[in-house]
Amino acid sequence: MKEKILITLATGTTGYAITQLLLQEGYLVRIFVRSRNKRALELEKMGAEIAIGEFNNYEQFKAALTGIDKAYFCYPMMKGLQQSIQLFIKAAIETDLHAIVFMGQWLAEYKEAPSLLTRDIQAAYKLLEQSGLNVVYYNPGFFADNVVALTESIVQMGQMPSPFGDGKCPWISTGDLGRCAVALLKNPEPYFGKKVHPAGAKSIDATEMAAIYSKVVGHKVKVMPVTDKMFMKAVMAAAKEFGYDEFVAVQTVFYMQELRKNNFGQPNNVVKELTGREPEDFETIAREFVATSPYGKKSFKGKLYAMGSVFKLLTASIPNKARQLELNS
């Protein structure tokens, strides 16, 4: 019988992909989720076992880890990671967990970390290193999935909002992230104690991204530079649709600043090493975004909706400076 694996944050983008892939290969999978929401129920229908719990509850962690061989730990974009990982470590030791694949960040490799979430990940590394547990540190760069929110403007208005400046990024697809994580869960031993950095096929800037989108959608797409303030407003305007909040808005502004410094890594051979296939290029990623988007076909009605989204952005409120400092401390 194949091992039993726990996936935390299984209804998130990467966790969902990992769970699907493991189930397809016949693995027993338990998902640690905060509610029996639509995505959790979808995974249950595919064969996953549901464990309901919060990231600040030791007893729920212990119950979820009982009978588990390996676990993928991914923390939501919210405060509290340091406390959560301590509880998880305690539960993992109590249940004799064999291996953990811990979702970190490439940014956490740098000494300076403006983002609170990045600093929390750095602290989590130290706690895991001191725990004596077998840990693989899974540290990708910027998820290409974060570009999904730009699809409406790209397709309907021919404009790609860009807070990226002249920065370059090797955007990595959700598919590659999922496949790499599954490979590590299936065979973690060679990577115990190591930091693994999967990356996309090529580092590209906003101009190159817009040119690729022009090819994909069949009309000219122009770069529309966006300030950090406008980007934060955009995140808040899209909060309901994409599950964002003030904390996410503040942290992602820091990520945009890091991207402009080219701090999200460089292309490498990690995806090929782990999965046996080359990483998906940005054109492949963009085609999937457009094909699966409700805004993927240009229309007069779609343009009206896109203009409405712009108005919503312009009128969105953002946390003031004091609140931003509070959210990052």
Residue range(s) occupied by CATH 3.90.25.10 in the chain: 144-171+200-265+280-327
H or E element that contains 6: strand 4-8
Q: At what angle do helices 13-24 and 174-186 cross, to 10 degrees?
A: 50
HEC readout, 33-69: ECCCCHHHHHHHHHCCEEEECCCCCHHHHHHHHCCCC
Identify the CATH number of the domain defined by range 144-171+200-265+280-327: 3.90.25.10
Looking at residue 237, its amino acid is: A
Contact assessment for residue 121 and residue 255, using Cβ atoms and an 8 Å cutoff = no
pLDDT, tens digit only, all 329 positions of the chain: 678 999 999 999 999 999 999 999 999 999 999 999 999 999 999 999 999 999 999 999 999 999 999 999 999 999 999 999 999 999 999 999 999 999 999 999 999 999 999 999 999 999 999 999 999 999 999 999 999 999 999 999 999 999 999 999 999 999 999 999 999 999 999 999 999 999 999 999 999 999 999 999 999 999 999 999 999 999 998 887 778 899 999 999 999 999 999 999 999 999 999 999 999 999 999 999 999 999 889 998 888 888 888 878 878 899 999 999 999 99
Check residue 324 and give its pLDDT. 94
Looking at residue 252, its amino acid is: T
Identify the CATH number of the domain defined by range 4-139: 3.40.50.720
Check residue 1 and give its pLDDT. 60
Identify the burial level of 127 via C-beta atoms within 10 angstroms of its C-beta, where 0-12 means exposed, 13-18 middle and 19 or more buried: middle
Check residue 307 and give its pLDDT. 86
Spatial CA neighbour of 181 closest among 71, 278, 91, 78: 71
Contact assessment for residue 201 and residue 279, using Cβ atoms and an 8 Å cutoff = yes
Q: Using CA atoms, how far apart are residues 308 and 26, in angstroms rounded to an integer? A: 45
Spatial CA neighbour of 74 closest among 21, 131, 124: 124
Under DSSP, the state recorded for 267 is -
Residue range(s) occupied by CATH 3.40.50.720 in the chain: 4-139
List strand residue ranges (DSSP E) for 68-155, in order. Answer: 70-73, 99-103, 135-138
Instruction: Give the number of other CB atoms < 10 A from CB of residue 17.
Output: 21
Contact assessment for residue 20 and residue 48, using Cβ atoms and an 8 Å cutoff = no
